Amino acid sequence: MLHIDWQQPWFAPWADDGKEVLQAWLDQGDLPQALNQSWQANKPQSAASLANLANLANLASHDASHQQGLRFEHNEAKLEWDFVAHDALPPGAAYEAFIHAHQQIPTRNNAHDFFNGLCWLRFPKTKRRLNQLQAQAIEQNGIQAQRGPLRDAITLMDENAVLLLAPETVWQALQSKDWTSLFVTHRHDWASCQLLIFGHALLEKLLTPYKGITGHVLCLPLPDQLLSNAGTDDWLSNQVSADFLRTKPFTPLPMLGVPGWWADNENPEFYADKNVFRD
């Protein structure tokens, strides 16, 4: 069964929900059930929260029908969702379209889907919005051999995105891939940074960390007051759109280069590896 060191800096922000879900999964042997229990215990109850979800559903439907000229059906009455066993997904059905149509998330008993479930628990509105955008693209173009630029960008955010709150010196060095400036010259500036992994596949990779693991920072600096509370999800879900994602608003970040995340990077020579820290 899954072993996680919750003291690692990349897992620490997920420890509260993660420990609870993992223990329930260990006890029951059923990850969907464990995730549903956590969702039911912690789901938003306020009318404002439900209204926000409804507005996101209406926005997606409006985007599809009016901006793209599509007929796109959505079950707006069902504002809740749940995790189900993966065999609930019919053979040949598109995973994203199934979630959107049924408000059910097919879930396997493995590490990848464990972290995906945690992301749904922490960022339900943003995950829902990404799913709506995927479903719209499928409705418009069908399932093809290649996802296409928009679906690729949605998938990249969903699986590998990182949220970063940082001073301008860090942002400029990161976007120019000036690794020496980013990690050596301005190393002390990282003390005022906050970094949170959004992508579930990236979390899974960090179970067995290695130097080349790369996340993709969403180039959308977060407001100070939102990064560490539920407001992040509200804010982020309203920033994500098809037009925004088509701009490919990501920049790569070698995760183990982050100061304080890996002991070996205390030596500046760590960053001389051009196979990882590429120009």
Work out the pLDDT band at 100, boundaries 50, 70, 90: very high
Say which residue, 213 or 229, is predicted with more confidence: 213
Average pLDDT over the chain, rounded to an integer: 86
Cβ 76 vs Cβ 61: under 8 Å: yes
Give a yes or no: residue 121 inside a domain: yes
Q: In this structure, what token pair is assigned to residue 150?
A: 């928009």
Residue span of the structural domain in which 241 resides: 12-272
* 2 is a domain residue: no
CB 233 within 8 A of CB 196: no
Question: 5 lies in a domain?
Answer: no
| pLDDT exceeds 50 at position 171 | yes
- Which residues have C-beta within 8 Å of that of residue 174, sequence separation ≥ 6? 164, 166, 182, 217, 251, 253
Instruction: Give the side-chain half-sphere CA count within 13 A for 206.
Output: 27
Instruction: Supply the Cα-derived Rg of the chain in whole angstroms.
Output: 19
Number of domains the chain is built from: 1
- Paired tokens of 195: 């970094």
Asked, for residue 242, whether it belongs to a domain, the answer is: yes
Instruction: Quickly state the pLDDT bin for 131 (edges 50, 70, 90).
Output: very high
pLDDT value at residue 196: 93
Q: Does 278 fall in a domain?
A: no
Phi, psi of 246 (to 5 degrees): -65, -20
Other C-beta atoms lying within 10 Å of the C-beta of residue 146: 7
- Using one digit for the tens of pLDDT, what is the confidence trace for 41-86? 886 543 344 445 445 444 444 444 333 333 333 333 344 789 999 9
In a domain, 134, yes or no: yes
Distant-in-sequence contacts of 144-152, Cβ < 8 A, 24+ apart: 149/246, 149/248, 150/242, 150/245, 150/246
